[in-house]
């Protein structure tokens, strides 16, 4: 296993280029199961989760070749296996994204139940209920979802009880090859869902309501789609994490290759905290604050403040002059970073899903801490950037799931970050 060693309190400066969005790339790779042609996909982030999904698609019978570090050509026409096994699904919950397209194309598939997860229970009941409404027969046997729809899926009206990102994506992909029209009500509107819709529309699918919470899809009755080549949108969560790195070091940094509009909620919280923000169409510059102000934020669905940025803002709030309040509304156990931040000297109390952070600039001290999940790990990296002395962050395989070239990018900004073997 590897760990990161960070020597804190360095000023940051300069520019960082943002990678493609992992959470857009995952459903888009799964969507190629619906393609009748090979597809070139660029701006793929070179991170573990993407390689895991590529491995799963390969196990199903697809083939891909790398054009370079971030571009591939993928061909799924030869898929001859429809079982996503436990050993791969257990390493990445998002493997559930193959359920909708496999079932729609082949009329049957087996996908291991994802099981528990560090940030909460995270059931997939809404995905399954919606597929049943589309005529699928779903059985849970020995830890597997067995799904069949011998005559194909039928278009239906799906009203999601809760907004679910991967649930919406799974049903969009299922509906693409269904017989008849599917209406998804209370759909997720995240930019990653929007790009999935746009790529399917460009592949000839008749899809209305893109970017709204009501999406209507006219299924092709199991005819595969002719995909166009495409590039993945910029990762708004990676971008938000680097903005927090600049903010916690109270330094001027510029992000390149971003879509500023996707970060509105994050940028407005940074402005409330006293940081300056300058934007162009594809860049964001963060300017230091005279004094970092505390913040109040509540995580919610897009376009609200993202749960995937909650941990990073908590690290930042430890440097504010005063008391910040964070409400986590999407996942019940997404405060695993709190204990580690406490070990670094933070003053945080938890009550239910509310965290109260009493900030004091420069009060954190480096020590050994443990990464627990992807975004919690990035909060520890941020805290380490501002802590006195050295922080060793263990179990960084969590970070490698979603951050491309983290050490290189932080080092280029002036941080002192090294990776070692345990």
Stretch that binds ligand UD1, among 124-132, 240-248, 341-349, 362-370 (CB under 6 A): 124-132
Stretch that binds ligand UD1, among 123-131, 272-280, 344-352, 392-400 (CB under 6 A): 123-131
Query: By CB under 6 A, is residue 44 in contact with ligand UD1?
Result: no
Per the annotation, does 361 bind a ligand? no
Query: By CB under 6 A, is residue 308 in contact with ligand UD1?
Result: yes
Determine which residue in the list 106, 275, 305, 331 makes contact with ligand UD1, applying CB under 6 A.
331
Determine which residue in the list 124, 253, 286, 410 makes contact with ligand UD1, applying CB under 6 A.
124
Determine which residue in the list 307, 312, 324, 377 makes contact with ligand UD1, applying CB under 6 A.
307
Active-site choice (71, 117, 197, 244):
117
Q: How far is the CB of 407 from ligand UD1 (least distance, A)?
A: 22
Determine which residue in the list 33, 53, 111, 165 makes contact with ligand UD1, applying CB under 6 A.
165
Determine which residue in the list 232, 330, 370, 380 makes contact with ligand UD1, applying CB under 6 A.
330
Query: By CB under 6 A, is residue 174 in contact with ligand UD1?
Result: no
**Contacts with 370 (C-beta within 8 Å, 6 or more apart), sequence order:** 340, 393, 394, 395
Half-sphere exposure (Cβ direction) of 78: Cα atoms closer than 13 Å: 9
Query: Whose Cβ is closer to ligand UD1: residue 274's or residue 402's?
Result: 402
Interaction residues for ligand UD1, span 216-275 (CB under 6 A): none
Q: Which residue has the tokens 């005279």?
A: 290
Q: How far apart are CA 364 and CA 8, in angstroms?
A: 10
Stretch that binds ligand UD1, among 57-65, 98-106, 125-133, 273-281 (CB under 6 A): 125-133
Per the annotation, does 330 bind a ligand? yes
Determine which residue in the list 60, 126, 203, 255 makes contact with ligand UD1, applying CB under 6 A.
126
Query: By CB under 6 A, is residue 155 in contact with ligand UD1?
Result: no
- For 298, the token pair is 């509540």
Q: Is 42 a catalytic residue?
A: no
| Helical packing angle, 374-386 and 336-343, nearest 10° | 20
Determine which residue in the list 167, 219, 240, 359 makes contact with ligand UD1, applying CB under 6 A.
167
Question: Which residues, listed in sequence order, are joined to residue 391 by a DSSP beta bridge?
Answer: 6
Q: How far apart are CA 413 and CA 276, in angstroms?
A: 18
Per-residue buried b or exposed e for 357-366, using 16+ beta carbons within 10 Å of the residue's own CB:
bbbeeebbeb
Q: How far apart are CA 197 and CA 176, in angstroms?
A: 10
Query: Whose Cβ is closer to ligand UD1: residue 238's or residue 275's?
Result: 238
Q: How far is the CB of 23 from ligand UD1 (least distance, A)?
A: 4
Each residue 74-103 as x (binds ligand UD1 by CB under 6 A) or -, in order, gives --------------------x---------
User: Using alpha carbons only, how large is the chain's radius of gyration in Å?
Assistant: 22
Query: By CB under 6 A, is residue 127 in contact with ligand UD1?
Result: yes
Query: Whose Cβ is closer to ligand UD1: residue 95's or residue 324's?
Result: 95
Per the annotation, does 124 bind a ligand? yes
Triad 331, 334, 336: Cα angle to 5°: 160
Query: Contact residues for ligand UD1 (CB under 6 A)?
Result: 23, 26, 94, 122-127, 162, 164-167, 192, 307-308, 330-331
Residues noted as catalytic: 117
Q: Which residues are annotated as a binding site for phosphoenolpyruvate?
A: 22-23
């Amino acid at each position: 296993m590897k760990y990161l060693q960070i020597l804190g309190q360095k000023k940051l400066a300069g520019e960082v280029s943002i990678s493609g969005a992992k959470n857009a790339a995952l459903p888009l790779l799964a969507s190629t199961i619906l393609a009748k042609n090979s597809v070139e996909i660029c701006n793929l982030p070179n991170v573990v989760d993407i390689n895991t999904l590529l491995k799963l698609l390969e196990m199903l019978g697809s083939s891909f070749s790398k054009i370079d570090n971030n571009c591939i050509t993928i061909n799924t026409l030869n898929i001859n296996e429809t079982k996503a096994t436990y050993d791969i699904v257990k390493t990445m919950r998002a493997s559930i994204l193959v359920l909708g397209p496999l079932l729609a194309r082949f009329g049957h598939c087996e996908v291991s139940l994802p099981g528990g997860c560090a940030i909460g229970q995270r059931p997939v009941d809404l995905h399954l209920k919606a597929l049943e409404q589309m005529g699928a027969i779903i059985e849970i046997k020995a830890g597997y979802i067995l799904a069949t729809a011998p005559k194909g899926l039928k278009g239906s009206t799906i009203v999601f009880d809760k907004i679910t990102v991967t649930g919406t994506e799974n049903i969009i992909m299922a509906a693409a090859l269904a017989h008849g029209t599917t209406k998804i009500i209370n759909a997720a509107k995240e930019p990653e869902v929007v790009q999935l819709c746009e790529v399917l529309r460009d592949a000839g699918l008749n899809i209305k309501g893109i970017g709204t919470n009501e999406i209507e899809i006219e299924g092709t009755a199991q005819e595969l789609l002719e995909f166009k080549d495409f590039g993945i949108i910029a990762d708004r969560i990676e971008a938000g994490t680097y903005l927090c790195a600049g903010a916690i070091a109270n330094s001027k940094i510029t992000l390149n290759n971003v879509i500023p509009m996707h970060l509105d909620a994050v940028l407005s919280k940074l402005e409330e905290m006293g940081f300056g923000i300058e934007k162009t169409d594809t860049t964001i510059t963060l300017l230091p604050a005279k004094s970092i102000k505390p913040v109040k934020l509540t995580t919610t669905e897009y376009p609200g403040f993202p749960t995937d940025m909650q941990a990073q803002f908590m690290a930042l709030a430890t440097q504010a002059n005063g008391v910040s309040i964070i409400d986590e509304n999407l996942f019940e156990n997404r405060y695993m970073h709190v204990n580690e931040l406490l070990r670094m000297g933070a003053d945080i109390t938890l009550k239910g899903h509310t965290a109260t952070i009493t900030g004091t600039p420069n009060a954190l001290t480096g020590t050994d801490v443990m990464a627990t999940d992807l975004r919690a790990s990035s909060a520890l990296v941020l805290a380490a950037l501002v802590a006195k002395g050295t922080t060793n962050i263990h179990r960084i395989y969590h970070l490698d799931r979603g951050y491309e070239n983290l050490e290189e990018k932080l080092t280029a900004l002036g941080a002192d970050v090294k990776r070692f073997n345990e």
